[in-house]
Structure 1
Amino acid sequence: MSAPILVIDFGTTTSAASVVTDDDAWLVAEPASGGYLWPSAVCWDGQQLLVGTLAERRKRTDPTTYWAEFKRGLAVDTPVLLGHRWFRPSELVVTVLSALKAEAQRQLGGEIDRAVLTVPASYVNGDPRRARMAAPAEAAGFVAVELVPEPAAAAFAYETSHHGGELVLVYDIGGGTFDAALVRLGEQWHEVLGHAALDDCGGRDIDALLSSRIRHESDQWLTPLRATMAATPSAPAALRLSLAIAEFAQRIKHQLTDVPVAQDFLMPNTPMYQLARPEFATMTAAQLGRTVTCCRDLLARLGVPLSEVSSVLLAGGSSRMPVIAERLERELGRPLRRLPEPDLAVVRGAANWLRRSGSRVIQAARVPARTVPLAFDIPGGSARLLRWHVLPGETYAEGNPLARVRLPDGALWDLTASAAGMIDRYLVQPGRDVAASDWLALARH
């Protein structure tokens, strides 16, 4: 790795980035907050899109110009009106990735043209969301974009030596999604044996349950407030109330991470709201039960007994909730691996994986003939040919990159020459799927 690479974990609720060089890896701090977690939110101010904390600070001015969690809209990519302008979710992804890239380059003091982008495990080959993540990264100015499954990346965030072949169940619950993956850890490469996901089960879904409970239990003092809004209709005012209740629900949830009973006031003149952990556990039981079922179904589909899983790795910001650890210990009974900052596990793990992965080049198989076919031992047996680096009639040296492919897990590999020669003609054009030992081109040695 000679040039710096930007690793990006673009999440439903927050995003993070890490600059990886030959010597180091460091997280990109957001200028507005100084933190490493950038809110995945935008706000249209009439002239430009504000990103992250700047958008969060502006959202109460006119909530109709603010949008978060637009990652959930990538499947259909339907435009949404912000203020008086329409935006597709994929356009907003470009905006966030561009902001991360610009700040990373400013802090680095140089250009970054390659990216590693983590994606949910549910973004399998053929899922349009894969392209709607890769294409915005290219639109943001990256000339090479690799895709890495989030739970596979998270497995490398646990900084400890491990024995080859160890099976780890990754339990990754973020703001918007839940991912489970069974990963076989190796010294250099990981192997995702299987994965499963719930696209509607994250921290924000728990926030929505809590917001609904707060609305129901506080109806007595919310009703007069709504009546005032009805007397003077104002969509922004109603949206501001919804935002206030949602943020209040998050504060209650975060309190319960640290104390057994949460207490807070939505407004100075409203009664104190109180919620204890047992009530919270009951309220979230069905939602968290879905995640446990997802894990069990994954293991059953793979034919792996729970007893063979060495540990469960907790990742994602929502995994901080004590009710999750209690539920997993009770129902799965495997040792839990906790990370000090689980919301940064994916970006840090992806950076660790990238630094361990080496040059990742494949030499062509040697065939003793003047006109020879070029075939390659592709890891996993298949890939998609993205581009040729050498044109027909052009010569190349031994070790020279000839073409680039993308593996099914999203990783990019360069196919290199095992001996000097000249490309005679292509046998496979870019955009086609290829398999190990397929003849991709004819060369003259």
Structure 2
Amino acid sequence: MTEPVLVVDLGSWAMSAAVVVHDQLHLVREPVGGGTRWPGGASLDPAPGRPRLSVGGAAERMRDERPRHYVDGARRAVDANAPVWLGDQLVNGAELVAAALDAVAAEARRQHGGIGRLVVTVPAAYRTHDPRRETLVSAAAVAGFPDVELVHDPVAAVADPVAALEVPDGGYLLVCDLGATWSATLTQLQHGVPVPVSQESSGHGRDLDVVLAADLRARLAQWVEPAFTAGGDVSVRAGFHALDIVRRLKHQLSQAQEATDQVEPGVPPYTIGRDQLDQLTEPANRWLVASCRAVIARAGIVPADVAAVLLVGGSAHLPSVGPALRQGLGRPLVRPAEPELAVLRGAARLAGGREGRALPADPAPWRVEPLAWTVPGGRGRLVRWLVKEGEQYPQGAPLAQVRTADDRVYDLTAGRADGVLLEHRVPPGGMVVSGMAAAHVRLSPVMERFQLAKRHHLRVSGDWLLMPDRRMLVECSRTGEYVKVRSIDSGALVTELRPGRGAGRPQHGQVALGPNQQLALVTWDAEGHFCVWDVLSGRMTSSFSDHHRPDAVLVNEGEWRLVATGEGAASVGRYRRDVATVWDLATGERLDRIVGEDLTRRFAGYAGSSRADAFATEMSTPDGRLRAAVQDGSIRVRDVETESEVFRADLSPARQIRTAFCHEGRHLLARCTDDEGTSVDVWEVLQPA
């Protein structure tokens, strides 16, 4: 992704935004308060001339002066699919959202420069063909983004990189998004993409705020009731202030047992404890657990089929929500850091995948091409056309005859495809010049027997390995933190090994292929402690420790041995000599210890990366019909039978490029290594029926 993308999480009463540039997320802070969460309200300035809408902190400032010209959520009019009154003006949802997007985009440009396109999140309840989606698209077009993309909140939440979720293809994940609106959405991973299956929503987040504000009003009635009953702007302003106070206290209680806030000078402070908050939250928790069970049942599965429950949104901080879900569902609970930003982070991650969604044109049932020939001597006089305009001809058929300067006559033949001769560009007696079009023909597509379609782009900061049988991709961290085995066709996770859990994380790792082609991970730390892991079973098969710090670690996959070199205790005069220790990876036994200089050159067959990797500079499909090769920073695929190039992908920015076909020849892979990491592109090989 090259163009900057503005991503906006448009909530019911708050919103957040970020600019994504080169896969890096830069939060757009609200200009008045400087926070990462923008107040979602909007205020109408009834100044003479054209009224103007303000949003965010600016709208909250105007709220105290004109509270009846304020709505506490720009999206509320869209949710209700009805306009709202701001003072004596009726304002629709598209106008409110357009004003919000205008303000966010202007601040994003001020903080981070130009914006190329826009991505906006939408609730799970906004399903396909919902008119509210069209309202958001119209609002974005007014704000200058006619190509806006809409992403469902639960889909974005699952993609949050902070949550670091890994669900096998076909697996289920339950997303509980707790903002002003609470929703429970069951998603299923289909071909690597989270798809909402069933969903329920409720206004419990806002309802809880209203209940807390009512409690404040009741407990401080002697002081605040006159403002609530005064009517007009005074009553509306009092209601907004009460909601502001209880929202602040509610979030403080996620860290403290008790929270206090001053309503106004001369009024006793309002205090609420966590026990009281838990009691008031209990009905909402019961609804949430019941809704989770309902969406699971509607999918025809049971809670045990759900991999995990993902908890996001501002109310995810409520202390009682997590225990209620664990007790009610019995499934693992994942609550990422700053859960109120999870949807934004996930949407930003998805925004970077647009380049992988380019749709190539369908191959035409025919195509028009010029025909040119290389004539001896550079030119010749056309004797006659052997095929009339509009006539068909088979591949290799003679189409015309040309006479050269030495009176030799040559047949001008067709290429390697059948076709129809559409136009004679040179009349009999005219000159046929080398390289100049002499005719136009319509070709049959049999020449292009193969089409390649991009399926996905996978990028990591570590390395990619293709198993020797070319059935699975292996993603490995250079720190040895994890190894992930993925399917080639979808990129979905098949299995994962994380050896660092428990007794500290390793600092280095190397994937290798052991006896019987078993995928293994060798990890070690700076102190020389080594472990060998079976990736598929997750079992540690051996471990050993060296007496010196390893400077270089090499593995011999054929003999299943490891050599670690480093500065040892052996010395000659004042100089220390290098020490190399050879280990049996199967048993963990030390086999040899060698002292000398430049030791790594002595160990033939040892390498710092797996030599079993199936990526190469050239490779053919198993049936031998296609051949791929790396050439001048690109991958080129040729049809072996017709000797024609059927595909080319330019990958020039990469420092090192390798390619491969999968075991069935149905997918082409390209691995590119640059300064920032390693990526794998996968194309599907399409064959005509």
Which piece of structure 1 moves more, 89-98 or 43-52?
A: 43-52
The match for 1:415 is none
Encode CA deviations 1:40-83: one digit per residue, 9 max, x unaligned. Answer: 11122334222101111221112112111242221554333323
Alignment-mate amino acid for residue 306 of structure 2:
V
Deviation at 1:87, TM superposition (A): 1.5
Say which of 198, 201, 215 aligns to 1:198.
Answer: 201
User: Is the 2:41–2:72 contact (alpha carbons within 8 Å) kept by the matching residues of 1?
Assistant: yes
User: Is the 1:78–1:89 contact (alpha carbons within 8 Å) kept by the matching residues of 2?
Assistant: yes
- What CA distance in whole angstroms lies between the structure 2 residues aligned with 1:156 and 1:287? 26
The match for 2:71 is 67
Query: Gaps spanning 5+ residues in structure 2: where?
Result: 369-447, 452-645, 648-689
Say which of 290, 293, 298 aligns to 2:290.
Answer: 293
Task: Report sequence identity in percent.
Answer: 36
Encode CA deviations 1:278-328: one digit per residue, 9 max, x unaligned. Answer: 222222221222122111111101122211222111111111111111211
User: Is the 2:200–2:295 contact (alpha carbons within 8 Å) kept by the matching residues of 1?
Assistant: no
The match for 2:320 is 323
Say which of 184, 188, 196 aligns to 1:180.
Answer: 184
- What CA distance in whole angstroms lies between the structure 1 residues aligned with 2:291 and 2:179? 15
- What CA distance in whole angstroms lies between the structure 2 residues aligned with 1:70 and 1:24? 28
The match for 2:140 is 137
- More relative contact order, 1 or 2 (CA 8 Å, 6+ apart): 1
> CA separation of 1:291/1:207 partners in 2, compared to 1, >3 Å: closer, same or farther?
same
- RMSD between superposed Cα atoms in Å: 2.7
The match for 2:673 is none
> CA separation of 1:184/1:224 partners in 2, compared to 1, >3 Å: closer, same or farther?
closer
The match for 2:33 is 33
Matches within 5 A, 1:145-224: 145-159=148-162, 160=164, 162-165=166-169, 166-175=171-180, 177-185=181-189, 189-202=192-205, 204-224=206-226
Matches within 5 A, 1:72-83: 72-83=76-87
The match for 1:19 is 19
> CA separation of 1:23/1:322 partners in 2, compared to 1, >3 Å: closer, same or farther?
closer
> CA separation of 1:23/1:333 partners in 2, compared to 1, >3 Å: closer, same or farther?
closer
- What CA distance in whole angstroms lies between the structure 2 residues aligned with 1:195 and 1:120? 13
Deviation at 1:226, TM superposition (A): 5.5
Encode CA deviations 1:344-383: one digit per residue, 9 max, x unaligned. Answer: 1111101112224542023345465469xxxxxxxxxxxx
The match for 2:5 is 5
Say which of 271, 284, 289 aligns to 2:281.
Answer: 284
> CA separation of 1:99/1:273 partners in 2, compared to 1, >3 Å: closer, same or farther?
closer
User: Is the 1:41–1:55 contact (alpha carbons within 8 Å) kept by the matching residues of 2?
Assistant: yes
- What CA distance in whole angstroms lies between the structure 2 residues aligned with 1:126 and 1:245? 38
Greater strand share, structure number: 2
- What CA distance in whole angstroms lies between the structure 1 residues aligned with 2:313 and 2:160? 11
User: Is the 2:74–2:100 contact (alpha carbons within 8 Å) kept by the matching residues of 1?
Assistant: no
> CA separation of 1:225/1:364 partners in 2, compared to 1, >3 Å: closer, same or farther?
closer
Deviation at 1:182, TM superposition (A): 2.5
The match for 1:54 is 58
The match for 1:238 is 235
Query: Gaps spanning 5+ residues in structure 1: where?
Result: 372-397, 400-417, 420-445
Alignment-mate amino acid for residue 201 of structure 2:
L
Question: Is it true that 1:258 corresponds to 2:255 in the alignment?
Answer: yes
Alignment-mate amino acid for residue 249 of structure 2:
I
User: Is the 1:189–1:357 contact (alpha carbons within 8 Å) kept by the matching residues of 2?
Assistant: no
> CA separation of 1:158/1:185 partners in 2, compared to 1, >3 Å: closer, same or farther?
farther
Which piece of structure 1 moves more, 251-260 or 75-84?
A: 75-84
Deviation at 1:189, TM superposition (A): 3.8
Normalising by structure 1, what TM-score? 0.75
- What CA distance in whole angstroms lies between the structure 1 residues aligned with 2:224 and 2:6? 46
Normalising by structure 2, what TM-score? 0.50
Matches within 5 A, 1:68-147: 68-112=72-116, 114-147=117-150
Alignment-mate amino acid for residue 95 of structure 1:
A
The match for 2:359 is 362
User: Is the 1:121–1:195 contact (alpha carbons within 8 Å) kept by the matching residues of 2?
Assistant: no
- What CA distance in whole angstroms lies between the structure 2 residues aligned with 1:5 and 1:254? 31
The match for 1:430 is none
The match for 2:676 is none
User: Is the 2:260–2:269 contact (alpha carbons within 8 Å) kept by the matching residues of 1?
Assistant: yes
- What CA distance in whole angstroms lies between the structure 2 residues aligned with 1:226 and 1:309? 47
- What CA distance in whole angstroms lies between the structure 1 residues aligned with 2:76 and 2:28? 24
- What CA distance in whole angstroms lies between the structure 1 residues aligned with 2:87 and 2:167? 54
Greater helix share, structure number: 1
User: Is the 2:155–2:196 contact (alpha carbons within 8 Å) kept by the matching residues of 1?
Assistant: no
> CA separation of 1:53/1:205 partners in 2, compared to 1, >3 Å: closer, same or farther?
same
